Amino acid sequence: MRSAYSVETVRAAERELMARLPEGALMQRAASGLAAACAELLGRVYGSRVVLLVGSGDNGGDALYAGARLARRGAGVTALLLAPERTHPGGLAALRAAGGSAREAAGGALDGRAAEDGAVAAGVAELIRRADLVVDGIVGIGGSGGLRPAAVPLAVLARASDAVVVAVDLPSGVEADSGEVRGEAVRADATVTFGTHKPGLLIDPAREYAGATRLVDIGLRPHLPPTADLEALQHADVAALLPSPAAESDKYRRGVVGVAAGSARYPGAAVLAVSGALHGGAGAVRYVGPAGDAVIARFPETLVSAGPPSKAGRVQAWVVGPGVGDDAGVVDEVLASDVPVLVDADGLRLADRAAVRARTAPTLLTPHAGEAAALLGTSREEVEAARLPAVRELAARYGATALLKGSTTLVAGPDGGPVRVNPTGTPWLATAGSGDVLSGLAGSLLAGGLDALDAASVAAYLHGLAGRVAAGEGAPVGASEVAATVARVWRDVVGGGWAAPSAGY
Ligand SMILES: NC(=O)C1=CN([C@@H]2O[C@H](COP(=O)(O)OP(=O)(O)OC[C@H]3O[C@@H](n4cnc5c(N)ncnc54)[C@H](OP(=O)(O)O)[C@@H]3O)[C@@H](O)[C@H]2O)[C@@H](O)CC1
Ligand SMILES: [K+]
């Protein structure tokens, strides 16, 4: 399990650890890991041109000490200071002692024009343009509210240069705790983070700014609480959670999942939800709704019934909503059952919040950003900008587990606790019907006995991997192919013989 902790928790752990260590030891551990990562990315340190963007806090201190290490190995290192009089004094002295230089980043006249807020000093743009490596030590976990104006041109210049950009702890300008990016931020090729991941490094949009993330162990782990703020399942976690039938299993012991989906107008949604459900490990899939003929034609193993859900026979979990149009009755009826229920697509619009809150069995809601926005009374853009607060709010309002789809799908439980972020997402999954497959898959795992948080996050993991594998070398895939690929990735995950794809971390 990969975990991430909020800034407040990191600060508390850091205080505990610092109290046991000589002054400055922690920063030296951070700088040493940072310098090693930079050296690796540079390939050849000797003769390389390194520019450090240095803010007024310890984040800048890390950059300066790492710069000193690179300078000792023969790199030409220049620090651009955003607040010369408040620069980390020890770091600056170390850099100078190692042969590096420092100059003011902001303010001075540019191309003959008078200095203005946000202007860079003469020669700064050229330095960044010609650099092999830019180290972003503008601001780390001490920052909030986006980049300050004086730092913005440096972020812009770094983005425009061909240099490898390495962010120290976090790309400056992103929100560590939520992954929000309000305004300009540094776009890094790699982020070297210390002690633990911060939530923002794993959640879009900030994750995209972080590039490949590397964690440097500075001894913080024993001082962090056992429960993280954010978790990402890895192959081994998923393998341990996947149901596997015992020798004496029959279909009822493996779980029967009921799918109430589709309509005369949208039979495809039913077919796709069933296809997902058939690959999720349940012993049987029962389909209820007007698209029975289409379902049976494609998947003859489905148990199809024409009547209402309450008359369909025994199920251990329901999936309701994909393609049901305006059939509120079917949603109400399924929500009235006493087994776990997954509500997706049209079902989300039709589900009565009080009825969801009143349920005693678990409920799992699986909206995309637009659907989540409608449920929360906000805009799609706002949900996409602040995904973590949105999924938490949704789970709390409905007293349900909420899965918010996206390139970094998030799953939040109703009672707080760690939020899960899916590391296997791919933009190829943004394809029609892909969500129907996911809901069938997650419903099947619910029927197999996984709790709602596990069912949702395991389904997102397999679905993401299947999307990646089906897309192969980057060709578009249809939702049916994604469903058909789930069995293969399931085998790979259980077999453990397949390295987890790097999702940037
Ligand atoms: N925790 C750990 O275990 C370890 C932490 N370590 C390192 O320390 C870092 C945290 O250092 P930190 O606390 O000094 O804060 P930091 O991120 O440098 O920023 C504060 C400065 O930035 C400024 N500033 C604020 N907002 C801004 C903005 N939006 N845009 C621009 N500037 C902004 C603000 O200025 P002021 O408000 O004072 O004017 C303030 O001076 C951490 O990320 C890691 O790298 C490692 O060395 C060892 C282990
Ligand atoms: K930074």
Q: What is the ipTM of this complex?
A: 0.96
The last residue of a domain, from among 200, 232, 264: 232
CA of 171 from ligand 1 middle (Å) equals: 12
For ligand 1, atom 33, the nearest C-alpha belongs to: 143
Residue 58 annotated as binding site: yes
CA of 325 from ligand 1 middle (Å) equals: 51
For residues 165 and 182, is the Cβ–Cβ distance under 8 A? Answer: no
Q: Where residue 41 sits, what CATH number does that domain have?
A: 3.40.50.10260
CA of 148 from ligand 2 middle (Å) equals: 13
For ligand 1, atom 11, the nearest C-alpha belongs to: 58
Q: Is residue 375 part of a domain?
A: yes
Residues 340 and 248 in one domain: yes
Alpha helices in 19-88 (DSSP H): 25-42, 58-72
- The Cα–Cα gap between 51 and 67 comes to 8
CA of 232 from ligand 2 middle (Å) equals: 23
Contacts of 20 (CB under 8 A, 6+ apart): none
Closest CA to 463 of 444, 447, 442: 442
Residues 426 and 395 in one domain: yes
Q: What are phi and psi of 402, to 5 degrees?
A: -120, 130
Contacts of 385 (CB under 8 A, 6+ apart): 180, 181, 182, 205
Q: Is residue 42 part of a domain?
A: yes
For ligand 1, atom 24, the nearest C-alpha belongs to: 143
For residues 64 and 145, is the Cβ–Cβ distance under 8 A? Answer: no
User: Relative to the CA of 29, which ligand 1 atom is closest?
Assistant: 48
Residues 335 and 256 in one domain: yes
Q: Is the dihedral of CA 440, 463, 453, 249 positive or negative?
A: positive
Residues 408 and 370 in one domain: yes
Q: Is residue 36 part of a domain?
A: yes
* Residue type at position 283: G
| In the block, residue with structure tokens 């992103």 | 174
Cα-Cα-Cα-Cα torsion 200, 206, 210, 215, nearest 10 degrees, comes to 10
Q: Is the dihedral of CA 41, 44, 46, 49 positive or negative?
A: negative
User: Relative to the CA of 168, which ligand 1 atom is closest?
Assistant: 45
Q: Is residue 505 part of a domain?
A: no
User: Which ligand is nearest the CA of 53, by number?
Assistant: 2
Tally of CA atoms within 13 A in the half-sphere of 78 that contains its CB: 18
User: Which ligand is nearest the CA of 186, by number?
Assistant: 2
Residues 403 and 466 in one domain: yes
State how beta strands 284-288 and 256-260 pair: parallel
Domain count, the chain: 2
- Pocket probe mutation, ligand 1, options 6, 18, 23, 58, max atoms within 8 Å of Cβ: 58
Give ligand 1 pocket residues (Cβ under 6 A): 10, 14, 26-27, 30, 55-60, 62, 138-148, 151, 168-169, 194-195, 218, 220
User: Which ligand is nearest the CA of 135, by number?
Assistant: 2
CA of 90 from ligand 1 middle (Å) equals: 15
Q: What are phi and psi of 471, to 5 degrees?
A: -75, -15
Q: Where residue 454 sits, what CATH number does that domain have?
A: 3.40.1190.20
* Residue type at position 48: S
Range of the domain at 226: 2-232
The CA–CA distances, whole Å, from 280 to 255, 289, 399, 410, 448 equal: 10, 20, 25, 20, 8
- The Cα–Cα gap between 420 and 364 comes to 14
User: Relative to the CA of 60, which ligand 1 atom is closest?
Assistant: 18
For ligand 1, atom 43, the nearest C-alpha belongs to: 140
Q: How many Cβ atoms are within 10 Å of 128's Cβ, its own excluded?
A: 26
- pLDDT by residue, tens only, the chain of 505 residues: 999 999 999 999 999 999 999 999 999 999 999 999 999 999 999 999 999 999 999 999 999 999 999 999 999 999 999 999 999 999 999 999 999 999 999 765 444 444 444 578 889 999 999 999 999 999 999 998 899 999 999 999 999 999 999 999 999 999 999 999 999 999 999 999 999 999 999 999 999 999 999 999 999 999 999 999 999 999 999 999 998 877 666 777 789 999 999 999 899 999 999 999 999 999 999 999 999 999 999 999 999 998 899 999 999 999 999 999 999 999 999 999 999 999 999 999 999 999 999 999 999 999 999 999 999 999 999 999 999 999 999 999 999 999 999 999 999 999 999 999 999 988 888 888 999 999 999 999 999 999 999 999 999 999 999 999 998 867 888 999 999 999 999 999 998 755 444 433 3
CA of 381 from ligand 2 middle (Å) equals: 26
pTM confidence score: 0.94
Q: Is the dihedral of CA 110, 114, 115, 118 positive or negative?
A: negative
Residue 435 annotated as binding site: yes
The last residue of a domain, from among 197, 232, 267: 232
Residues 431 and 384 in one domain: yes
Q: Is residue 503 part of a domain?
A: no
Residues 423 and 474 in one domain: yes
